[in-house]
Amino acid sequence: MAWRESIEIPPLSHGNTPIPMASKVGNMLFTSGIFGRDPDTNELPESAEEQCANTLKNLARVLEKAGGKPGDVAQVSVYLKDNATRPLFNKPWVEMFPDEHSRPARHAHIVPGLAAAIQIAAIAVIEG
């Protein structure tokens, strides 16, 4: 196995090729920007709530493809077009990371010019 591996999850793509959805280096996983596009159609839903849910569905797919799981995620950076979207992200966040004593670190940034309601980037340490 190569020391570094690009991770893709079709039909989703970063859009700015040749940038992969994620890069796995050893047991470390670093994602590129993950938007809230529908994981099956690559369409961007209109609602911020759906986009929030899809970001974590897409993160889960990246993790699975890399041999990881949600418990491997150490840190998530969240980029929001509008701060009002923050509470909409908490519901899928708690669903993906239900144990309040074992959640990744998280930091939100407000980016008014963002092309979607939300974008995330994550770092994970793949167990094993």
The secondary structure of 10-33 as a DSSP string is: TTB--SSTT--SEEEETTEEEE--
Mean pLDDT of the chain: 95
pTM for the structure as a whole: 0.95
- CA 113-95-111 angle, to 5 degrees, is 10
Write down the pLDDT at residue 1. 61
Residue in the block written with tokens 């239900």:
98
Confidence of residue 128 (pLDDT cuts 50, 70, 90): confident
Write down the pLDDT at residue 105. 98
**25-75: pLDDT as tens digits:** 999 999 999 999 999 999 999 999 999 999 999 999 999 999 999 999 999
Domain 4-125 CATH (choose: 3.90.1010.10, 3.30.1330.40, 3.40.430.10, 3.40.640.10)? 3.30.1330.40
